[in-house]
Amino acid sequence: MSIVRLASAAVNQTPLDWEGNRERLRKCIAKAKAQQASLLCLPELAITGYGCEDQFLSPHTSERAREVLAEIVPETSGLILAVGLPLRHHNAVYNVVALIADGDLQGFYAKQNLAGDGLHYEPRWFRPWPVGVQAEVDFFGKTVPLGDVTFDSGGIKIGFEVCEDAWVADRPGREHSKIGVDVILNPSASHFAFGKQQIREQFVCEGSRAFGVAYVYANLVGNEAGRIVYDGGPMIASGGQLVAIGERLHFHETEVITAAVDLSVNRLAQSRTAGRELAPAEECAVVRHFTWRTESSPSFQTNSKAWTKEEEFTHAVALGLYDYMRKSRSQGFVVSLSGGADSAAVACLVYVMHGLVSKALGEEVLPAVGKLLLCVYQATSNSGPVTEEAAAHLAAALGATFASWDVQPAVDHYVKLTEQTLGRELAWQRDDITLQNIQARVRAPGIWMQANVRNALLLATSNRSEAAVGYATMDGDTCGGLSPIAGIDKAFLRHWLRWLETEGSEVVLPVPALVAINRQEPTAELRPAEQGQTDEDDLMPYPVLDLIERLAIRDKKAPNEIFNRLLSEYPEQEDESVKQWVIRFFQLWSRNQWKRERYAPSFHLDDENLDPKTWCRFPILSSGFTEELQNLKRL
């Protein structure tokens, strides 16, 4: 039997960290050898990191990546290794995978399908390699093949699908199947999004079944470059079934999984597939033969776990926070804790992160929560005892350091200065937004000082629903170096807080103190108490706002189409109320693009992101849908 032990890895890399990236790849190689693997697949662009952005265009980046590859090649004695890097050829840059066998570079496969949608910008830096084309390149005096290359090692044929290659309809695996490839390697850099893991498992398993191969999928893990969190979760499949799968969203720098696969079973499946198209002749670049390790029998085990959306959100943001803190060399976090849902969610995410890291890496890795997290309640004359008590109670339950400040004197000072300049008094009936905003902005300087003196990250507390309509004070509640919940809607945040209060999970314990947060109606608490201010009175019900946002921004529906959809979704509502919701959303969306441009970096959590730097482009200046909204008003 042709039983070989295959290995796949997840690695937490940092863009342009040449020494650190190299050492983590070496650790993966050592782990694979210790597990008696014959072949190891490492992630896409693992040498440089995936998030190098325009630095991929620098000749130095490609040259340094070649040098690191040359340093890794001798480490592969007794092993076949696939590892990704950028490669410059004829003054163009390609996203390639190097295949090394027993300390000898065999060649480069070049990615054919570049990811250019959503947060991906690969066509900005790389050229897609044409199907069926091969070239030759010099690698420190040795000529090796480059391009649409498959490899033959000891009679075992190896092909590639690099990340996006597997997501397109016309997958390279189809061509590999024509020449009887035994193993397909997929080095990926596949970012986290809700529910995405199920899709990955599907194409990995279906690839192994349809092409009659062993399919090896590798991925990055962690917050590599700031905004994107990678899942990890390497996989190996054979015969349409997962035979090994790694942990997702973990805090370790490296993970290697292995599985023994009987290639003769897959070859039999290929021979039984009557409809399989065959190539007229062998079309693979043949490398020197390499003796694979064989085993007497395969051992198939997986540790796959289906997570709920609440768990995925918790683990993804916790991993994002931890990596952002350590890679930015920060010493902790500071949160302006208002006693409301958003700031409570941010504080709880830091607390949960602390617990998960301590459990995974040891309690000595991070200081106690009290040293890691400072929460400050900043009261004005419009703040009430309910929110202050809720903030204090939650901070105590989390073990955070807590302080309560009275910032009303600062508010009064700026109001007085403005009145002196205007020559009149400010009044709520006339100056509502001005009087609200000064309270939020006065809270910024002191909390920034705390972050500075502690060398800590100030976390902004605005969510995606607020970002959509600009319901946030610039230089107020948007202050921060990182905005961890700006990628998630308010309705889900409130649901998640109730889940964390009462349920939690096997590894995330409930936080009962959230009851004081969850029983409140969301409010900015910036108007006098007798006005009874709530967020939804200022805007519209959050579920409605989130639905309009998805229809308008994700699905690109026109205002009248959204109006008709809402009428069917909310038949109990008056038509005029529904119409005003739609009008208000589009007006606020259009006039507040400048705010979204200024938000601190946020984590990408789903494919409905509003981040203008990575996902959702919209002009800062526009007509604001004037004609469309006028037509809607006339309906």
Same domain, 265 and 370: no
Residue 233 tokens read as 């979760």
- Kindly state whether residue 292 falls inside one of the protein's structural domains: no
Q: How many CB atoms lie within 10 A of CB 528?
A: 11
Q: DSSP class of residue 625?
A: S
- Kindly state whether residue 534 falls inside one of the protein's structural domains: yes
CA distance 530 to 621: 37
- Kindly state whether residue 144 falls inside one of the protein's structural domains: yes
- pLDDT, one tens digit per residue, over 609-630 is 899 988 899 999 999 999 999 9
Q: How confident is the model at residue 297 (pLDDT cuts 50, 70, 90)?
A: very low
Quote the pLDDT of residue 285: 52
Helix, strand, coil in percent for the chain, rounding step 5 = 40, 20, 40
- pLDDT, one tens digit per residue, over 329-381 is 999 999 999 999 999 999 999 999 999 999 999 999 999 999 999 999 999 99
Same domain, 338 and 242: no
Calculate ∠ Cα 548-550-553, nearest 5°: 95
Same domain, 480 and 599: yes
Quote the pLDDT of residue 294: 53
Same domain, 120 and 238: yes
Same domain, 327 and 195: no
The reported pTM is: 0.94
- Kindly state whether residue 302 falls inside one of the protein's structural domains: no
CA distance 223 to 226: 6
Q: How far is CA 394 from the centre of its chain?
A: 28
Q: How confident is the model at residue 154 (pLDDT cuts 50, 70, 90)?
A: confident
Assign residue 240 a region: left if phi > 0, alpha if psi is -120 to 50, beta otherwise? left
Same domain, 317 and 442: yes
Calculate ∠ Cα 329-332-333, nearest 5°: 120
CA distance 230 to 555: 25
Stretch 255-271: mean pLDDT, rounded?
92
Residues contacting 524, CB < 8 A, separation 6+: 436, 440, 533, 535, 538
Crossing angle of the two packed helices 490-502 and 542-549, in degrees rounded to 10: 130
Query: Which residues span the domain enclosing 630?
Result: 309-634
Quote the pLDDT of residue 324: 98
β-bridge partners, 401: 374
Domain boundary among 221, 248, 272: 272
- The closest of 576, 516, 589 to 549, measured between CA atoms, is 589
Contact between residue 451 and residue 457 where contact means Cβ atoms under 8 Å apart: yes
What percent of the chain is predicted at pLDDT more than 90? 85
Residues contacting 626, CB < 8 A, separation 6+: none
Q: How many residues does the chain have?
A: 635
Same domain, 195 and 315: no
Same domain, 267 and 356: no
Number of compact structural domains in the chain: 2
Same domain, 327 and 247: no
- pLDDT, one tens digit per residue, over 24-61 is 999 999 999 999 999 999 999 999 999 999 999 999 99
Domain boundary among 272, 291, 319: 272
- Kindly state whether residue 147 falls inside one of the protein's structural domains: yes
- Kindly state whether residue 594 falls inside one of the protein's structural domains: yes
Stretch 116-139: mean pLDDT, rounded?
94
- Kindly state whether residue 298 falls inside one of the protein's structural domains: no
Element (H, E) at 597: helix 593-598
Same domain, 348 and 241: no
Same domain, 316 and 244: no
β-bridge partners, 108: 98, 146
Quote the pLDDT of residue 102: 95
Same domain, 335 and 188: no
CATH number at residue 116: 3.60.110.10
Stretch 118-131: mean pLDDT, rounded?
94
Q: How confident is the model at residue 274 (pLDDT cuts 50, 70, 90)?
A: very low
CATH number at residue 546: 3.40.50.620
To the nearest whole number, what is the mean pLDDT of the chain? 93
- Kindly state whether residue 281 falls inside one of the protein's structural domains: no
